[in-house]
Amino acid sequence: MIPVQGVTDQTIAVLGLGRSGKATAAALQAGGAQVVVWDDGQEARAQAEAEGLEVRDLTRDDAWTGIATLITSPGIPHLYPNPNPVIAKALEKGIPVDNDIGLFFRSFATRDWDEFDTMPRVITVTGSNGKSTTTALIHHILQSVGRPTQMGGNIGTGVLSLDPAHDGEVVVIELSSYQTDLARALTPDVAVFTNLSPDHLDRHGGPGGYFAAKRRLFSEGGPDRCVIGVDEVEGRYLANQMGQGPGDDRVIRVSSGQKLDGFGWAVFAKKGFLSEYRKGRQVASLDLREIGGLPGAHNHQNACAAYAACRAVGIAPRDIETAFHSFAGLPHRSQTVRELNGVRYVNDSKATNIDAAEQALHAFKRIRWIAGGLGKDGGIAALQDHLGEVVKAYLIGHSARDFALQLGDTPHEVVDTMEAAVARAHAEAEPGETVLLAPAAASFDQYPNFEKRGEHFAAIVNAL
């Protein structure tokens, strides 16, 4: 646990009692704060009381006496589409609102660091797609070369549940737009931006607000190095904003598909090969094509981002390449579940939006595509030009029939359930084909989250 600094004898309110809320309450108490908590759910409040926490109804005006700060869980809206009523009261009263990320960045460095030979460093990763894989890959590389490292944030351990830093440690943190949007302190040493595609637009008031939430990590965080994917205009804009010209090597531009040789520092993948350029000259190259845990161009972009971040903390190219080969990939992200009778079964349940599904559809050949769930605005119409490798689609969930209307001449079948989709694809698949779960939709019609959807798919496949 990382005790929160600067809160001794203050009364701090915590809104939301999920994993991060409970960890925040404990870290605040460890830092000497008096903590009061509130959750909209009665069961969560009862559990908090049973654990000895003071539950205070923050929907009441008289509950705010003496409260210095409100700490909110990331899933609770603080601005769009409407602030949670408790947050709205804090805003009206002028009480600062923060989250666990802000507390982490103001509390991670301690006086113990004066005794360290090598200062700990923090690498943060944000973006729309690929941030979990990139985060896990950076962490894996650090482990492979023997660097002390921890991983947390939006993946794995909550930031305040991490251990205090060790000498020379590198902490790798995945950050969502919900987390970067509100944090009052953001001070990473290396910040990574993978890419941007429309997502969470209601929460951020549109695409501009969504990008602005990501951008805060760079513009307000002031990292020593910025690793920025420049395959979209937002990334190019961000790289332009953070650098003092094309030769500024504090910005490492990253791409999958375009050559970047006119900049101070760049890493790109083209035709399956990763290249690192410094001041217009190639300084390293490695082959990504046979790395099983990183299939497809989208994972090659993730590899470039992870490579650049690790180079920024002094890891040698060949050590990174060796670590790439031992990376198994993350569950639910282009994860090969099994090969059976010459057919590959791939779980990409995390492909909950159009852009992620598009990347998956370009990563494999001769695809039997399982798609559907709770569709997002526009359905899958935008994928019309990316279905060339789809032999047949098997459509499940709430939006199955809407998706069917958007598939045009692509062979498809509405099967409704995962069991039926896997059974039909298994019966019809031929050697050399891939049965791919890439839903292009949320999971909440049939599953509590994308992980449970992916686990169900894997369980059915493993039982074939």
Residues annotated within a binding site for ATP: 127-133
Residue 338, SS3? strand
Q: Is residue 12 within 8 Å of 68, Cβ to Cβ?
A: yes
Q: Hey, what are 314's tokens?
A: 């002094």
Query: Cα(122)–Cα(313) distance, rounded to whole angstroms?
Result: 10
Residue 394, SS3? strand
**Cα angle at 140 between 294 and 111, to 5 degrees?**
145
Using CB atoms within 10 Å of the CB of residue 341, give its burial: 0 to 12 exposed, 13 to 18 middle, 19+ buried.
exposed
Query: Cα(181)–Cα(87) distance, rounded to whole angstroms?
Result: 14
- Cα dihedral: 179, 380, 234, 330 (round 10): 50
Strand-pairing partners, residue 29, are: none
The angle, 0 to 180 degrees and rounded to 10, between the axes of the packed helices 296-312 and 317-325 is 140
Residue positions counted in the chain = 464
Q: Is residue 254 within 8 Å of 266, Cβ to Cβ?
A: yes
Query: Cα(247)–Cα(135) distance, rounded to whole angstroms?
Result: 27
Query: Cα(309)–Cα(294) distance, rounded to whole angstroms?
Result: 17
Q: Annotated binding residues, as ranges?
A: 127-133
Query: Cα(73)–Cα(97) distance, rounded to whole angstroms?
Result: 11
Using CB atoms within 10 Å of the CB of residue 38, give its burial: 0 to 12 exposed, 13 to 18 middle, 19+ buried.
buried
Give all strands of the β-sheet with 434-437 in edge-to-edge order.
335-340, 343-347, 434-437, 367-372, 390-396, 412-416
Strands 225-229 and 190-193: parallel
